[in-house]
Every structure is written in structure tokens, then in C-alpha cells.
Amino acid sequence: MNTIQYALLSLLAREPLSGYDMKQQINLKINPFWKISNNQLYPVLGKLEKACFIQLKAIEQDGYRPARKIYEITDAGLEKLKEWIAAPSETDVIRDEFTVKLFNSWLLEPEKMINILADRKRQHEEKLLLYANKMKELAVRPEYGDIETPLFSTAAILNLRMGYERSYMEWCDNMGMLLQGSLDQKSKTAKL
Amino acid sequence: MNTIQYALLSLLAREPLSGYDMKQQINLKINPFWKISNNQLYPVLGKLEKACFIQLKAIEQDGYRPARKIYEITDAGLEKLKEWIAAPSETDVIRDEFTVKLFNSWLLEPEKMINILADRKRQHEEKLLLYANKMKELAVRPEYGDIETPLFSTAAILNLRMGYERSYMEWCDNMGMLLQGSLDQKSKTAKL
DNA sequence: GTCTTCATGTAAACGGTTACATGATTAC
DNA sequence: GTAATCATGTAACCGTTTACATGAAGAC
């Protein structure tokens, strides 16, 4: 059992869903947390069904549209999931392409680097706004604040990711100022 | 060309290295930024050599030890690397197993969750200390502060990761207090 | 006598991405 | 008439992990 399989169980622990729904939720709604493609999704659903952690609940047909295979989690699946979440996790290696580029920033003219940092900040600001908007949507729901509802967990993830985006933005600012300061000093020395 | 190949070029842009050295630097020294296994490393080195982005500089033999194949970056490789770092990057999806577990925190007793959060905070504190120590090592070097040296880029990555660890720790604290507050209120109501 | 380090490499399997396929409908 | 949405699925490939192999020296 790998993380993506537990992610699917996590979704079904909240409500019965079709494969299509799960993909949407992972890629869009729960976007801060994982990603999945069709090719992974359908075989993995098959595996989970074979292992009796999920089962087909219904097949919905809405007019001309393709049939929707709705899955639900089984008792065994819920048990498996609960076991997993209680087990300790290592901190994962963050593989961020930008960091590798940053490792080479000394090869770049400071002026270019300042622009790249400004761009980068904008990207993280966008994400922050996205999360903030999702948070606003959650805050008006009546269960908001109740720690025993799924909503609480979703809000917790959003909070975590908002903290990440804010710290990234702060870093962009600091780096930008550092480089700018270095440039200013250089032009001063050149004048003298 | 994928990120790991550019990561190897990045290392060779600083100094000639053997495959073994590169693995050590990626997995240990530059731990905050990527990871590589033998199976990926040696075929990828072969590819880079074939593409003429790196070349064999020397074969060192130190007594009984296996021969070290020292590689260096070519002009073409440096050019390719510079092109890449100037090109814009998307923000990568952060795949963190813990986040998926967090998505299920509503299934867990708050007491257990409080413990998990305390553990998690400890993990990130350890990483923060690790980065802080590396930073101290860099700070005493004479080139420190000069934005045109590799050291500056390394320090920038450490700064970024330290910000990440700090924001994670802060979030752990906030989440812990929220849960604790909710528990206290519950026991109060129970007494009345 | 077993474990670790140095240094190269390979085999097999799993995880994940990109692209394609179907077929009806709605939107521009 | 082209593109997007809904909903399932497959083929081929690339990226990554785990495990194994060699062989000599030094540490416990």
C-alpha cells in the first residue's frame, strides 16, 4: 500500500465517490496535497477493490453520459486507513525544480535573478490567494471549528500550505533586497 | 533533460567530481534539495557524457581503493545549464505523506493527534538545527556574502529551507493549541 | 568475525506522466 | 466546426526505489 492508495481511501472515508470524482478532488479541490493521472487511478481502484478495502456501491447513469461507478470504503478499508494514519511518518524530501535552479544563481547576473525572484513571489502569492479563498468558503459552513468533522482536517491542510506560501514569499523579499543592496553598493563604488 | 540531470550539471559547474561524490553531495550535503540512487546515477552520467555536456577529466587510483572516474562540465554543458536556470519554472506539487494523514485527522482522537503534532514539530526542529549548523559553517568562510560565489547560492537554499521548517513548526504549535483548547472546553462542559 | 566505507555498476519492480481512445452533449 | 466536459479505460515511456554484486581495508 502506497500513499496514493491511502489518499483514495481518505476520500472515500468522507463520502462515496466515482473514480472521476476522486481524480477531480485530488487534482483540484485538494490540489495542495497530491496529483493523479487516469493511468494510475483506474488500475489502483481495481487493486483496492480486489483487496476488499473498497467496493462498488452503485452505477449511476445520467442520460447520455457515461456510467459512473460509485465506490464506497469497507470496514476493512477504514481499519487499514486508521492504522496507517496513526503510524509515524518520515519527513519527505522536497523535490522542487526551482531549488535546483537556485543552486546555480551564482552563475546568473543579479539583475536577472531579481526578476526571477519577483516572478517567483507572484506565483506563491497566487497560490496563497487560492488557498485563502478556499478557506473563506469553509469558514461559512456550520461545522466549521468542530474538530471531529472532515472540514477541520481540510482547513488544517490549507493553514499549513498558507504558512508555506507566506514563508516562501518572505524569503523572495529578503533575497531580492539582499541582491538589490549588493547592486547598489557596486554602483556606488563604481562612481567613486 | 530532466531535473536530476541538471542537478548533476549544477554540481559539476562548481568543481570536477566523481559519480560517488555527486551522490554524496545530493543525498547528504545538499540533502534539502534532491535525492539519487546508484541505479539512476550511473546511467544518467553515461547519457550526459554521450550528449557531450560532461567529460571524463581523470581516473584517480588511491591504493587499494576502486578507481574514481572524475568528470568535469563542458562548455556546452555550462551553456545548457545557464539556459535552463533562466527559463521560468512552475511551482511543483508538494507530495508530503504527512499531509495525506492530516487529511484524515478527523478520524483520530484529539489526544493522539496532539501527540503526533508534537512529534512532527520535533522532526522539523531537528531539520532546522541541521540547516542552522550548515549555515554557521558557511558564515565563517571568507567568500560569505559575495553574491557571485557558489556559497551564496547554497546559503540561499538553506535560508529558504529554514523558513519552511520554521513555518511548519509554527503550524504544529497552532494546531496543537487549537486541539488542546477544544479538549479543555469539552472537559469543562462535562463537569457542569 | 561482522559491519562500515569507498567506488563502480546492474536487475527488477514500482510510481507517475503524456498521450491516445470512445461517444454524446453543450458552449463559442 | 472546433473545443471543452463527462467518464471510463489502455499503451508506452520515463523516473525512482530497493536490492544485489564486487573487493579490499579498517573499525569494533
Kindly report, residue by residue over A71-100, the tens digit of the pLDDT. 999 999 999 999 999 999 988 888 999 999
Q: Is residue A24 part of a domain?
A: yes
Same domain for A129 and A61: no
| CATH number of residue A60's parent domain | 1.10.10.10
Q: Which domain holds residue A54?
A: 3-86
The pLDDT > 70 percentage for chain A reads 98
Q: Is residue B33 part of a domain?
A: yes
Same domain for B114 and B81: no
Q: Are B135 and B162 in contact (CB under 8 A)?
A: yes
Same domain for A103 and A81: no
Same domain for A117 and A173: yes
B175 CB neighbours in chain A (<8 A) are 156, 159
Inter-chain CB proximity B103 and A10 less than 8 Å: yes
The pLDDT > 90 percentage for chain A reads 83
pLDDT at A33 over 90: no
- Residue B135 contacts strand D, CB under 7 A: no
Range of weakest confidence among A21-30, A139-148, A175-184, B55-64: A21-30
Same domain for B155 and B69: no
Comparing every residue's Cα with the C1' atom of nucleotide D9, the nearest one is A42
Q: Report CA B23 to chain centroid distance, whole Å.
A: 13
Model pLDDT, residue A32: 65
* Phi and psi torsions of A58, nearest 5°: -165, 160
Q: Does the beta carbon of A88 lie under 8 angstroms from any beta carbon of chain B?
A: yes
Q: Which nucleotide is nearest to A23 (CA to C1')?
A: D7
Same domain for B176 and B118: yes
pLDDT at A30 over 70: no
**E strands, chain B, in order:** 17-18, 54-60, 68-73
Cell of A132: 485563502
Same domain for A57 and A112: no
Q: Does the beta carbon of B89 lie under 8 angstroms from any beta carbon of chain A?
A: yes
**E strands, chain A, in order:** 17-18, 54-60, 68-73
Average pLDDT on B8-19 reads 97
Kindly report, residue by residue over B104-131, the tens digit of the pLDDT. 999 999 999 999 999 999 999 999 999 9
Q: Are B161 and A102 in contact (CB under 8 A)?
A: no
Q: Does the beta carbon of A124 lie under 8 angstroms from any beta carbon of chain B?
A: yes
The pLDDT > 70 percentage for chain B reads 98
pLDDT at B3 over 80: yes
Q: Is residue B91 part of a domain?
A: no
Q: Is residue A82 part of a domain?
A: yes
What is the number of domains present in chain A? 2
pLDDT band at residue B27, thresholds of 50, 70 and 90? confident
Q: Nearest CB to A103: which of B33, B159, B178?
A: B33
* Bases of chain C within 7 A of a CB of the protein: 6-12, 14-25
Distance A37 CA to D12 C1' (A): 15
Inter-chain CB proximity B175 and A156 less than 8 Å: yes
* Mean pLDDT for all residues in chain B: 94
Chosen for mutation from A147, A161, A164 (greatest number of chain B CBs closer than 10 Å) is: A147
Model pLDDT, residue A187: 86
B31 CB neighbours in chain A (<8 A) are 93
Of residues B145 and A150, more confidence is placed in: A150
Same domain for A136 and A60: no
Q: Which of helix, strand or coil describes residue B22?
A: helix
Model pLDDT, residue A128: 94
Q: Nearest CB to A147: which of B90, B147, B182?
A: B182
Average pLDDT on A159-173 reads 97
Model pLDDT, residue B136: 94
Q: Is residue A29 part of a domain?
A: yes
Q: Which of helix, strand or coil describes residue B71?
A: strand
Same domain for A183 and A105: yes
The CA distance from A128 to the nearest CA of chain B, in Å, is: 12
Which DSSP string corresponds to A163-176? Answer: HHHHHHHHHHHHHH
Q: Is residue A92 part of a domain?
A: no
Contacts with A96 (C-beta within 8 Å, 6 or more apart), sequence order: B33, B92, B94
Model pLDDT, residue B99: 94
Distance B122 CA to C28 C1' (A): 55
Same domain for B140 and B117: yes
| Domain finish residue from B86, B119, B148 | B86
Q: Is residue B92 part of a domain?
A: no
Inter-chain CB proximity B10 and A103 less than 8 Å: yes
pLDDT at B33 over 80: no
| Domain finish residue from A29, A59, A86 | A86
Same domain for A114 and A50: no
Average pLDDT on A100-128 reads 96
Model pLDDT, residue B145: 87
Inter-chain CB proximity A95 and B166 less than 8 Å: no
Distance CA B17, CA B36 (A): 15
Q: Is residue B62 part of a domain?
A: yes
Burial status of residue A122 (CB atoms within 10 A of its CB: 0-12, 13-18, 19 or more): exposed
* Mean pLDDT for all residues in chain A: 94
Distance CA A54, CA A98 (A): 38
Distance CA B55, CA B166 (A): 41
Same domain for B68 and B7: yes
| Domain finish residue from A86, A115, A137 | A86
Distance B67 CA to D24 C1' (A): 12
Question: Which chain B residues in 140-169 lie under 8 Å from chain A, judged by CB atoms?
Answer: 147-154, 156-157, 159-160, 163-164, 166-168
Inter-chain CB proximity B153 and A100 less than 8 Å: no
